Amino acid sequence: MTIEERYAHWREVIETQKTSGLSIADYCRSRDMRTNVFYAWRRRIQKRQMDQQGFIELRSSVSGMDTGIRIVSGNLCIEVQRNFDPTTLRSVVACLTSR
| pLDDT one-digit tens code per residue, 4-22 | 999 999 999 999 999 999 9
The whole model's pTM is what?
0.53
Please name which of 71, 91, 93, 67 lies closest in space to residue 81, comparing C-alpha atoms. 67
Three-state secondary-structure class, residue 61: strand
Rg (CA), the chain: 17
CA distance linking residue 84 with residue 69, whole number of Å: 10
Host H or E run for residue 55: none
Beta-ladder partners of 72:
57, 77
Tens of pLDDT, residues 36-78:
999 999 999 888 877 766 555 555 545 554 567 777 766 667 7
CA distance linking residue 14 with residue 84, whole number of Å: 36
